[in-house]
Structures are given as C-alpha cells and as structure tokens.
C-alpha cells in the first residue's frame, strides 16, 4: 500500500539504489523525501525494491532494487491496471520494456546535467567562458562575504532563511516547499551549502548533498530579489570548491524544459547527461 515517505525509509532506499543504473538524483532519498509534498509522491515496496508513485506525473518512478523484484513489480502493476506509465526509466531496461510492448522515449527536459567539480571550482578552464566571466563579474561588482553551512550548528539559521517570506526571494513555490522540508532535517539528509551576503544586505544560498559516491547534487537555490543573477554561478563555484576533493562530479539536475535554463547549463560545459526515459505500457 502506497504511503508517505519517512525519514526511517532512508536506509532502505539507499540499500536498494544501485548508482550504476539508478544514478539520477531524482531517485535518491533526499530528493523523494523533500519533494514528496510538491509532486504528491508516495512509496511502496519490500526489502528488495521500492517504487514511487507521483500524482503530478500521473505515473510511477521506475522501481529501484534487484532486477527480479523490479520486473515482478512492473508485471504485477500492469496486470492489475491494464496500462502503466513509468518515468525515470534506466536505459538498461528499455529493451525489456519494449519487448513487453512499451512505447519508450528519451525525456530531455528531465535528463540531468553532470559537470566536473574541478571545472566548476575554476581549477581548470573546462567550465566554459560564460560561467567563468559571470563568477568574475560578481566578485568584481560586489562587496561580499561567504560562509559555509555546518550542521547541526546552523540548523536554526537555515530554518530562518528558508522560512523568509516568498516575496523576498526568487524561486518557485514547489522549490520553496521542498527546501523548507529539507531545512527541518539537514543533518539526516547530509546537506551542505554556502551562504553569500553583500554589503548591501542582499543574500543568496545554495544547498546540496551526495547523490552517489562520485556525484554531488546541487539542489536548493534561493536568493534575494535585488541581488545580481551572477550570484548563482558564484554560489555554484564556492560550493564546488568545498566538495571537489570528495566528489569528482557535480549534478546540476534537469532544466525542466525552460529554454533559458537549458542554455545556461549547456554554456557551463557538462561532461555528460544522465538520460531520463519514459515508458508507456
């Protein structure tokens, strides 16, 4: 029976997830836990797999776990429902699904962009000229200071800035909802991040977490209305500096089909994409 996703599900989800085939950060525990209210996510499964149902997508995230358990779950759902929509399907399962009669397609809007951490930290010149210039322009045009988040010491500080009125910051409502949920349990979610403040009182912060043993995910970004948009690459650069010694790669998530966001992420020179597929049976 599908139910809400709880903190106590973390060990189960992390045990079932194989980062070689399920590297999309959307399938990770921090993602499904923090975004569950925004997208109507619920969970079901047993010790060998988990499956997420999404009201917003009117379908299911592809089950995660042992291949036998995953395929058994799909066969059972298909038998009960007669039809099935699966999203975030790994490429390795496309052939099997097509043999079942599924129509499959790649979803560029939900595929995730992955970069070298060293490039985003400006330790080399592979991040792209556009990105490097924006970081430099922010530093040149503003007097600012930065601090790293340390949890649990900064728990209350994060709650405070996450709870700031929406009119004072940029960000979608669903993103702010998820961010506020994350701020309740930053230590359990293994969050880290940076906070920038200018001498004019403008501010921005960026939070992330380990998505796999090799990939760090940049996920929650918020900044005050009046601050330069160049603060975004500045935050990315500062957080990359802090994690690049432990994580060789950084995931900047999908572009949601927003043309400006897609252009920006391409200009920052990703080294590869984590492709997302949909299957309809």
Residue 275 covered by a domain: no
Residue 159 in domain: yes
Residue 130 sits in the same domain as residue 246: yes
CA 122 to chain centre: 22
Contact by Cβ (8 Å): 180, 188: no
Confidence of residue 162 (pLDDT cuts 50, 70, 90): confident
Q: Which one of 63, 85, 108 terminates a domain?
A: 108
**Of 123, 115, 121, which Cα lies nearest the Cα of 241?**
121
pLDDT tens track for 211-226: 999 999 999 998 888 8
Mean pLDDT across 204-212: 94
How many residues in total does the chain contain? Answer: 281
Task: Name the domain count of the chain.
Answer: 2
Does 281 fall in a domain?
no
Percent of the chain clearing pLDDT 90 (strictly above): 79
Same domain, 56 and 164: no
In a domain, 1, yes or no: no
Q: Specify whether 85 is located in the same domain as 203.
A: no
Same-domain check for residues 116 and 226? yes
Q: In this structure, are 122 and 224 located in the same domain?
A: yes
> Could you read off the pLDDT of 228-241 as tens digits, one per residue?
999 999 999 999 99
Instruction: Return the number of other C-beta atoms located less than 10 Å from residue 259's C-beta.
Output: 8
Find residue 104's DSSP bridge partners.
279
Supply 4's token pair: 């809400």
> What per-residue string of b and e applies to 205-223 under the rule 16 or more CB within 10 Å gives b?
bbbbbbbbeebbbbbbbbb
The answer on 60 and 26 residing in a single domain is yes
Q: Which pLDDT value is given to residue 173?
A: 43
Mean pLDDT of the chain: 92
CB 59 within 8 A of CB 85: yes
Domain, as residue range, for 37: 7-108
Could you please report the per-residue DSSP string of 123-189?
SSSTT-HHHHHHHHHHHHH--EEEEE--TTTTHHHHHHHHTS-GGGEE--HHHHHHHHHHHHSTTTT
Could you tell me the pLDDT band of residue 125, with boundaries at 50, 70 and 90? confident
Q: What's residue 19's pLDDT?
A: 83
| pLDDT value for 165 | 65
pLDDT per position as a tens digit, 249-263 = 999 999 888 888 888
103 and 123 in a common domain: no
The answer to the question of residue 25 being in a domain is: yes
Domain-terminating residue out of 51, 86, 108: 108
- Virtual torsion, Cα 146, 149, 155, 157, nearest 10 deg: 0
CB distance 109 to 57 below 8 Å? no
Q: What is the pLDDT of residue 164?
A: 72
Same-domain status, 226 and 129: yes
- 279 within some domain: no
Q: Is the dihedral of CA 218, 219, 223, 227 positive or negative?
A: positive
Span 38-65, average pLDDT: 96
Q: What is the pLDDT of residue 92?
A: 92
Is there a domain that residue 241 lies in? yes
Same domain, yes or no: 100 and 116: no
Instruction: Compute the distance between CA of residue 216 and CA of residue 120 in angstroms, rounded to an integer.
Output: 12
Cα(66)–Cα(76) distance, rounded to whole angstroms?
A: 15
Instruction: Tell me what the mean pLDDT of segment 23-43 comes to.
Output: 95
Whether 102 and 143 share a structural domain: no
Do 120 and 185 share a structural domain? yes
Q: Which of 108, 128, 144 is the last residue of a domain?
A: 108
Residue 209: closest CA among 71, 25, 68, 9: 25
One domain for residues 85 and 215: no
On the question of pLDDT at 172 being above 70, the answer is no
Flag whether pLDDT at 167 surpasses 80.
Answer: no
- Which percentage of the chain shows pLDDT scores above 70? 96
Output the pLDDT for position 87: 97
- Checking if the pLDDT of 153 tops 80, the result is yes
Determine, yes or no, domain membership for 260: no
Domain CATH code at residue 49:
3.40.630.30
């Amino acid at each position: 029976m599908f139910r809400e996703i709880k903190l106590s599900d973390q060990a189960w989800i992390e045990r079932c997830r194989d980062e070689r085939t399920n590297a999309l950060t959307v399938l990770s525990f921090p993602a499904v836990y923090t975004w569950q209210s925004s997208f109507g996510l619920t969970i079901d499964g047993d010790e060998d797999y988990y499956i997420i149902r999404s009201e917003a997508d009117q379908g299911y995230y592809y089950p995660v776990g042992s291949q036998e358990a995953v395929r058994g779950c799909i066969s059972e759902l298909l038998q009960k429902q007669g039809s099935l929509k699966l999203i975030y399907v790994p490429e390795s399962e496309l052939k099997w699904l097509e043999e079942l009669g599924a129509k499959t397609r790649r979803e560029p809007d939900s595929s995730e962009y992955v970069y070298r951490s060293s490039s985003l930290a400006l330790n080399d010149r592979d991040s792209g000229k556009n990105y490097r210039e924006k970081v430099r322009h922010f530093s040149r045009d503003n007097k600012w200071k930065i601090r790293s988040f340390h949890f649990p010491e900064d728990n209350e500080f994060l709650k405070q800035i996450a709870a700031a009125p929406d009119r004072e910051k940029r960000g979608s409502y669903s993103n702010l909802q998820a961010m506020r949920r994350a701020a309740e349990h930053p230590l359990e979610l293994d969050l880290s991040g940076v906070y920038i403040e200018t001498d004019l009182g403008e501010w921005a912060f960026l939070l992330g977490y380990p998505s796999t043993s090799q990939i760090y995910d940049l996920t929650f970004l918020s900044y005050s209305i009046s601050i330069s948009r160049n603060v975004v690459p500045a935050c990315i650069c500062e957080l990359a500096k802090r994690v690049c010694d432990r994580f060789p790669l950084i995931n900047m998530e999908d572009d949601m089909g927003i043309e400006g966001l897609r252009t920006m992420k391409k200009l920052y020179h990703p080294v590869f994409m984590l492709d997302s597929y949909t299957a309809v049976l």
